[in-house]
Chain A
Protein backbone atom coordinates (compact mmCIF):
# COMPACT_ATOMS: atom_id res chain seq x y z
CA UNK A 1 0.00 0.00 0.00
CA UNK A 2 2.84 2.37 0.81
CA UNK A 3 4.48 1.51 -2.48
CA UNK A 4 1.43 2.51 -4.51
CA UNK A 5 1.04 5.77 -2.59
CA UNK A 6 4.72 6.62 -3.09
CA UNK A 7 4.64 5.76 -6.78
CA UNK A 8 1.98 8.36 -7.47
CA UNK A 9 3.94 11.03 -5.62
CA UNK A 10 7.30 10.53 -7.39
CA UNK A 11 8.01 13.40 -9.77
CA UNK A 12 11.00 14.04 -12.03
CA UNK A 13 12.13 16.81 -9.67
CA UNK A 14 12.02 14.46 -6.66
CA UNK A 15 14.03 11.91 -8.55
CA UNK A 16 16.65 14.40 -9.71
CA UNK A 17 17.03 15.87 -6.23
CA UNK A 18 17.49 12.47 -4.66
CA UNK A 19 19.93 11.45 -7.37
CA UNK A 20 21.96 14.60 -6.83
CA UNK A 21 22.05 13.88 -3.11
CA UNK A 22 23.37 10.38 -3.71
CA UNK A 23 26.05 11.69 -6.11
CA UNK A 24 27.05 14.28 -3.54
CA UNK A 25 27.27 11.70 -0.74
CA UNK A 26 29.30 9.28 -2.82
CA UNK A 27 31.71 11.95 -4.11
CA UNK A 28 35.31 11.47 -3.04
CA UNK A 29 34.79 7.80 -2.36
CA UNK A 30 37.41 5.41 -3.65
CA UNK A 31 36.04 4.10 -6.94
CA UNK A 32 36.11 0.40 -7.67
CA UNK A 33 39.49 -0.41 -9.20
CA UNK A 34 39.23 -1.04 -12.96
CA UNK A 35 40.99 -3.99 -14.58
CA UNK A 36 44.37 -3.50 -16.27
CA UNK A 37 44.58 -2.55 -19.96
CA UNK A 38 45.86 -6.02 -20.80
CA UNK A 39 42.56 -7.42 -19.58
CA UNK A 40 40.60 -5.57 -22.30
CA UNK A 41 43.06 -6.66 -24.98
CA UNK A 42 42.82 -10.30 -23.96
CA UNK A 43 39.09 -10.33 -23.36
CA UNK A 44 38.09 -10.41 -27.03
CA UNK A 45 40.69 -13.11 -27.71
CA UNK A 46 39.34 -15.28 -24.89
CA UNK A 47 35.75 -14.80 -26.01
CA UNK A 48 36.65 -15.61 -29.62
CA UNK A 49 38.34 -18.78 -28.40
CA UNK A 50 35.18 -19.79 -26.58
CA UNK A 51 33.11 -19.02 -29.67
CA UNK A 52 35.46 -21.24 -31.72
CA UNK A 53 35.08 -24.08 -29.20
CA UNK A 54 31.32 -23.72 -29.16
CA UNK A 55 31.01 -23.77 -32.95
CA UNK A 56 33.67 -26.40 -33.74
CA UNK A 57 32.81 -29.94 -34.84
CA UNK A 58 34.20 -31.31 -31.60
CA UNK A 59 31.83 -29.22 -29.57
CA UNK A 60 28.91 -30.16 -31.78
CA UNK A 61 29.73 -33.86 -31.55
CA UNK A 62 30.12 -33.56 -27.77
CA UNK A 63 26.85 -31.74 -27.64
CA UNK A 64 25.22 -34.45 -29.74
CA UNK A 65 26.71 -37.10 -27.49
CA UNK A 66 25.44 -35.35 -24.39
CA UNK A 67 21.96 -34.83 -25.75
CA UNK A 68 21.30 -38.01 -27.71
CA UNK A 69 23.92 -40.75 -27.65
CA UNK A 70 24.69 -41.03 -23.95
CA UNK A 71 21.05 -40.95 -22.76
CA UNK A 72 20.21 -43.43 -25.55
CA UNK A 73 22.89 -45.90 -24.52
CA UNK A 74 21.88 -45.57 -20.87
CA UNK A 75 18.23 -46.23 -21.77
CA UNK A 76 19.08 -49.35 -23.81
CA UNK A 77 21.37 -50.70 -21.08
CA UNK A 78 18.73 -50.06 -18.42
CA UNK A 79 16.16 -51.91 -20.55
CA UNK A 80 18.46 -54.91 -21.05
CA UNK A 81 19.40 -55.07 -17.38
CA UNK A 82 15.73 -54.87 -16.45
CA UNK A 83 14.91 -57.63 -18.93
CA UNK A 84 17.64 -59.86 -17.55
CA UNK A 85 16.99 -59.44 -13.84
CA UNK A 86 13.36 -58.44 -13.43
CA UNK A 87 11.42 -60.16 -16.23
CA UNK A 88 10.67 -63.93 -15.96
CA UNK A 89 12.89 -66.09 -18.18
CA UNK A 90 10.38 -68.04 -20.31
CA UNK A 91 13.03 -70.16 -22.05
CA UNK A 92 13.49 -72.34 -18.95
CA UNK A 93 10.77 -75.08 -18.69
CA UNK A 94 9.32 -75.51 -15.21
CA UNK A 95 10.60 -78.56 -13.29
CA UNK A 96 8.15 -81.43 -12.64
CA UNK A 97 6.79 -82.07 -9.15
CA UNK A 98 8.82 -85.24 -8.89
CA UNK A 99 12.03 -83.43 -9.87
CA UNK A 100 11.29 -80.65 -7.44
CA UNK A 101 10.57 -83.13 -4.64
CA UNK A 102 13.68 -85.18 -5.37
CA UNK A 103 15.76 -82.03 -5.28
CA UNK A 104 14.62 -81.32 -1.74
CA UNK A 105 16.85 -82.34 1.19
CA UNK A 106 15.82 -85.54 2.99
CA UNK A 107 14.91 -83.66 6.16
CA UNK A 108 12.52 -81.46 4.22
CA UNK A 109 10.84 -84.47 2.61
CA UNK A 110 10.39 -86.12 6.04
CA UNK A 111 8.87 -82.95 7.37
CA UNK A 112 6.40 -82.79 4.46
CA UNK A 113 5.33 -86.43 4.99
CA UNK A 114 4.81 -85.85 8.71
CA UNK A 115 2.74 -82.77 7.93
CA UNK A 116 0.51 -84.65 5.49
CA UNK A 117 -0.05 -87.45 8.03
CA UNK A 118 -1.05 -84.96 10.68
CA UNK A 119 -3.45 -83.39 8.22
CA UNK A 120 -4.95 -86.78 7.37
CA UNK A 121 -5.50 -87.61 11.05
CA UNK A 122 -7.36 -84.44 11.73
CA UNK A 123 -9.41 -84.53 8.50
CA UNK A 124 -13.05 -85.77 8.40
CA UNK A 125 -13.70 -89.43 7.49
CA UNK A 126 -15.33 -88.75 4.16
CA UNK A 127 -12.32 -86.72 3.05
CA UNK A 128 -9.97 -89.51 4.02
CA UNK A 129 -12.10 -92.02 2.11
CA UNK A 130 -11.74 -89.89 -0.96
CA UNK A 131 -8.01 -89.66 -0.51
CA UNK A 132 -7.05 -93.22 0.53
CA UNK A 133 -7.36 -95.63 -2.38
CA UNK A 134 -5.18 -98.50 -1.21
CA UNK A 135 -7.14 -100.24 1.57
CA UNK A 136 -5.20 -102.81 3.62
CA UNK A 137 -6.17 -106.42 2.76
CA UNK A 138 -7.31 -107.46 6.23
CA UNK A 139 -9.47 -104.36 6.66
CA UNK A 140 -11.15 -104.94 3.29
CA UNK A 141 -11.81 -108.62 4.19
CA UNK A 142 -13.34 -107.72 7.53
CA UNK A 143 -15.53 -105.09 5.93
CA UNK A 144 -16.91 -107.35 3.21
CA UNK A 145 -17.46 -110.32 5.60
CA UNK A 146 -19.38 -108.17 7.96
CA UNK A 147 -21.55 -106.22 5.58
CA UNK A 148 -21.80 -108.58 2.57
CA UNK A 149 -23.16 -107.07 -0.70
CA UNK A 150 -20.29 -108.47 -2.67
CA UNK A 151 -22.20 -108.59 -5.97
CA UNK A 152 -23.10 -104.89 -5.78
CA UNK A 153 -19.55 -104.06 -4.99
CA UNK A 154 -18.19 -106.19 -7.80
CA UNK A 155 -20.46 -104.44 -10.34
CA UNK A 156 -18.90 -101.12 -9.51
CA UNK A 157 -15.31 -102.28 -9.54
CA UNK A 158 -12.93 -102.53 -12.46
CA UNK A 159 -11.31 -105.81 -13.51
CA UNK A 160 -8.07 -105.01 -11.74
CA UNK A 161 -9.85 -103.99 -8.55
CA UNK A 162 -11.86 -107.20 -8.56
CA UNK A 163 -8.69 -109.28 -8.86
CA UNK A 164 -7.12 -107.30 -6.09
CA UNK A 165 -10.17 -107.76 -3.89
CA UNK A 166 -10.47 -111.51 -4.50
CA UNK A 167 -6.82 -111.96 -3.74
CA UNK A 168 -7.42 -110.15 -0.48
CA UNK A 169 -10.32 -112.50 0.27
CA UNK A 170 -8.17 -115.53 -0.52
CA UNK A 171 -10.13 -116.62 -3.62
CA UNK A 172 -9.13 -117.12 -7.20
CA UNK A 173 -10.57 -114.63 -9.77
CA UNK A 174 -11.97 -117.50 -11.83
Chain B
Protein backbone atom coordinates (compact mmCIF):
# COMPACT_ATOMS: atom_id res chain seq x y z
CA UNK B 1 0.00 0.00 0.00
CA UNK B 2 2.72 2.47 0.97
CA UNK B 3 4.35 2.27 -2.46
CA UNK B 4 1.18 3.15 -4.37
CA UNK B 5 0.44 6.71 -5.51
CA UNK B 6 -2.66 8.55 -4.33
CA UNK B 7 -4.43 7.96 -7.63
CA UNK B 8 -3.65 4.24 -7.52
CA UNK B 9 -4.98 4.11 -3.98
CA UNK B 10 -8.16 5.89 -5.09
CA UNK B 11 -8.64 3.20 -7.76
CA UNK B 12 -8.14 0.55 -5.09
CA UNK B 13 -10.79 2.19 -2.88
CA UNK B 14 -13.19 2.32 -5.82
CA UNK B 15 -12.59 -1.41 -6.23
CA UNK B 16 -13.70 -1.96 -2.63
CA UNK B 17 -10.34 -1.96 -0.87
CA UNK B 18 -10.93 -0.17 2.43
CA UNK B 19 -7.33 -0.59 3.48
CA UNK B 20 -6.38 1.74 0.64
CA UNK B 21 -8.66 4.42 2.07
CA UNK B 22 -7.02 4.02 5.48
CA UNK B 23 -3.65 4.55 3.80
CA UNK B 24 -4.95 7.74 2.10
CA UNK B 25 -6.16 9.02 5.46
CA UNK B 26 -2.86 8.19 7.11
CA UNK B 27 -1.01 10.18 4.45
CA UNK B 28 -3.10 13.34 4.58
CA UNK B 29 -4.85 13.52 7.96
CA UNK B 30 -2.25 15.74 9.62
CA UNK B 31 -2.30 18.41 6.92
CA UNK B 32 -6.07 18.41 6.86
CA UNK B 33 -6.18 18.62 10.65
CA UNK B 34 -3.81 21.57 10.82
CA UNK B 35 -5.58 23.43 8.05
CA UNK B 36 -8.85 23.08 9.96
CA UNK B 37 -7.26 23.93 13.27
CA UNK B 38 -5.63 27.07 11.87
CA UNK B 39 -8.93 28.08 10.34
CA UNK B 40 -11.07 27.38 13.40
CA UNK B 41 -8.62 27.67 16.30
CA UNK B 42 -9.63 24.71 18.45
CA UNK B 43 -8.77 21.01 18.51
CA UNK B 44 -12.42 19.96 18.92
CA UNK B 45 -13.52 21.85 15.82
CA UNK B 46 -10.54 20.62 13.81
CA UNK B 47 -11.28 17.02 14.84
CA UNK B 48 -14.87 17.39 13.63
CA UNK B 49 -13.71 18.82 10.32
CA UNK B 50 -11.15 16.04 9.70
CA UNK B 51 -13.75 13.35 10.31
CA UNK B 52 -16.37 15.06 8.17
CA UNK B 53 -13.83 15.68 5.41
CA UNK B 54 -12.76 12.05 5.02
CA UNK B 55 -16.30 10.78 5.42
CA UNK B 56 -17.44 13.13 2.67
CA UNK B 57 -14.46 12.20 0.52
CA UNK B 58 -15.29 8.49 0.83
CA UNK B 59 -18.96 8.99 0.09
CA UNK B 60 -18.24 11.22 -2.92
CA UNK B 61 -15.22 9.46 -4.32
CA UNK B 62 -17.16 8.89 -7.54
CA UNK B 63 -17.03 12.64 -8.17
CA UNK B 64 -13.25 12.76 -7.97
CA UNK B 65 -12.13 13.09 -11.60
CA UNK B 66 -8.41 13.28 -11.00
CA UNK B 67 -8.04 16.73 -12.63
CA UNK B 68 -6.42 17.86 -9.38
CA UNK B 69 -4.45 15.70 -6.96
CA UNK B 70 -6.35 13.70 -4.35
CA UNK B 71 -4.87 15.82 -1.57
CA UNK B 72 -5.97 19.09 -3.22
CA UNK B 73 -9.46 17.64 -3.69
CA UNK B 74 -9.71 16.57 -0.04
CA UNK B 75 -8.16 19.84 1.06
CA UNK B 76 -10.88 21.70 -0.80
CA UNK B 77 -13.52 19.73 1.09
CA UNK B 78 -11.83 20.55 4.40
CA UNK B 79 -11.51 24.29 3.68
CA UNK B 80 -15.14 24.51 2.56
CA UNK B 81 -16.33 22.68 5.67
CA UNK B 82 -14.18 25.02 7.79
CA UNK B 83 -15.64 28.09 6.08
CA UNK B 84 -19.14 26.71 6.71
CA UNK B 85 -18.26 26.15 10.37
CA UNK B 86 -16.99 29.75 10.61
CA UNK B 87 -20.22 31.04 9.08
CA UNK B 88 -22.25 29.04 11.59
CA UNK B 89 -20.08 30.38 14.39
CA UNK B 90 -20.61 33.97 13.23
CA UNK B 91 -24.34 33.36 13.05
CA UNK B 92 -24.41 31.90 16.55
CA UNK B 93 -22.31 34.80 17.87
CA UNK B 94 -24.63 37.26 16.18
CA UNK B 95 -27.74 35.58 17.56
CA UNK B 96 -26.29 35.38 21.05
CA UNK B 97 -25.45 39.07 20.97
CA UNK B 98 -28.85 40.13 19.66
CA UNK B 99 -31.34 41.88 21.91
CA UNK B 100 -33.93 39.11 21.50
CA UNK B 101 -31.43 36.40 22.42
CA UNK B 102 -30.48 38.29 25.58
CA UNK B 103 -34.11 38.32 26.58
CA UNK B 104 -34.76 34.69 25.72
CA UNK B 105 -31.43 33.31 26.91
CA UNK B 106 -30.15 35.19 29.94
CA UNK B 107 -26.36 35.65 30.18
CA UNK B 108 -24.57 32.52 31.31
CA UNK B 109 -21.08 31.13 31.59
CA UNK B 110 -19.81 29.46 28.42
CA UNK B 111 -17.09 26.94 29.28
CA UNK B 112 -16.55 26.05 25.61
CA UNK B 113 -15.81 29.69 24.80
CA UNK B 114 -13.38 29.92 27.71
CA UNK B 115 -11.65 26.80 26.46
CA UNK B 116 -11.36 28.30 23.00
CA UNK B 117 -9.75 31.43 24.37
CA UNK B 118 -7.24 29.35 26.29
CA UNK B 119 -6.45 27.34 23.19
CA UNK B 120 -5.62 30.46 21.24
CA UNK B 121 -2.26 30.49 22.92
CA UNK B 122 -0.18 31.58 19.97
CA UNK B 123 -0.25 35.25 19.02
CA UNK B 124 -0.18 34.27 15.38
CA UNK B 125 -3.25 32.10 15.84
CA UNK B 126 -4.95 35.01 17.57
CA UNK B 127 -3.97 37.27 14.71
CA UNK B 128 -5.35 34.83 12.13
CA UNK B 129 -8.58 34.63 14.12
CA UNK B 130 -9.14 38.35 13.52
CA UNK B 131 -9.11 37.96 9.72
CA UNK B 132 -12.28 37.80 7.65
CA UNK B 133 -13.17 34.24 6.59
CA UNK B 134 -11.85 34.31 3.04
CA UNK B 135 -8.65 36.13 3.96
CA UNK B 136 -8.17 33.62 6.75
CA UNK B 137 -8.50 30.72 4.32
CA UNK B 138 -6.07 32.31 1.85
CA UNK B 139 -3.60 33.08 4.64
CA UNK B 140 -3.69 29.53 6.02
CA UNK B 141 -3.20 27.96 2.60
CA UNK B 142 -0.47 30.33 1.46
CA UNK B 143 1.45 31.07 4.66
CA UNK B 144 1.36 27.67 6.32
CA UNK B 145 0.82 25.24 3.46
CA UNK B 146 2.63 27.32 0.83
CA UNK B 147 0.08 26.41 -1.82
CA UNK B 148 0.34 28.15 -5.18
CA UNK B 149 -2.28 30.74 -6.09
CA UNK B 150 -3.58 28.33 -8.74
CA UNK B 151 -4.12 25.65 -6.09
CA UNK B 152 -5.80 28.16 -3.75
CA UNK B 153 -8.03 29.30 -6.62
CA UNK B 154 -9.05 25.65 -7.21
CA UNK B 155 -9.77 25.12 -3.51
CA UNK B 156 -11.85 28.29 -3.14
CA UNK B 157 -13.42 27.97 -6.62
CA UNK B 158 -12.33 31.50 -7.48
CA UNK B 159 -10.05 33.24 -9.95
CA UNK B 160 -6.36 33.80 -9.23
CA UNK B 161 -6.80 37.58 -9.76
CA UNK B 162 -7.89 38.75 -6.33
CA UNK B 163 -6.06 36.15 -4.27
CA UNK B 164 -2.71 37.92 -4.28
CA UNK B 165 -4.27 41.13 -2.97
CA UNK B 166 -6.27 39.08 -0.49
CA UNK B 167 -3.12 37.47 0.88
CA UNK B 168 -1.30 40.80 0.99
CA UNK B 169 -4.08 42.40 3.01
CA UNK B 170 -4.14 39.41 5.34
CA UNK B 171 -0.37 39.66 5.85
CA UNK B 172 -0.62 43.36 6.63
CA UNK B 173 -3.37 42.82 9.19
CA UNK B 174 -1.45 40.00 10.86
CA UNK B 175 1.73 42.08 10.90
CA UNK B 176 -0.18 44.98 12.45
CA UNK B 177 -1.68 42.70 15.10
CA UNK B 178 1.68 41.13 15.98
CA UNK B 179 3.45 44.50 16.17
CA UNK B 180 0.77 45.90 18.43
CA UNK B 181 0.73 42.78 20.62
CA UNK B 182 4.52 42.54 21.01
CA UNK B 183 4.87 46.25 21.79
CA UNK B 184 2.20 46.15 24.47
Q: Chain A: residues with CB nearer than 8 A to chain B?
A: 3, 6-7, 10, 14-15, 18-19, 21-22, 25-26, 29-33, 35, 40, 43-44, 46-48, 50-51, 54-55
Q: Which B residues touch A44, using CB under 8 A?
A: 22, 25-26, 29
**What is the bound-complex CA distance between A31 and B34, given in angstroms?**
12
B37 in contact (CB, < 8 A): yes
Given contacts A47-B55, A51-B55, contact A35 B143 (CB under 8 A): no
> Is the Cβ of A32 less than 8 Å from the Cβ of B37?
yes
Q: Which A residues touch B119, using CB under 8 A?
A: 32
Q: Which A residues touch B124, using CB under 8 A?
A: 22, 26, 29
Given contacts A22-B175, A50-B51, contact A40 B30 (CB under 8 A): yes
> Is the Cβ of A3 less than 8 Å from the Cβ of B123?
no
B92 in contact (CB, < 8 A): no
In the A-B complex, the 3 residue pairs with the smallest Cβ-Cβ separation, listed nearest first, are A7-B165, A25-B178, A26-B124
B85 in contact (CB, < 8 A): no
> Is the Cβ of B51 less than 8 Å from the Cβ of A32?
no
Secondary structure at the B interface, as helix, strand, loop or mixed, is helix
**What is the bound-complex CA distance between A164 and B75, given in angstroms?**
108
CB closest chain-A residue, reference B162:
A7
Q: Which of B29, B122, B123, B165 contacts A40 (CB 8 A)?
A: B29
> Is the Cβ of B175 less than 8 Å from the Cβ of A50?
no
> Is the Cβ of B59 less than 8 Å from the Cβ of A6?
no
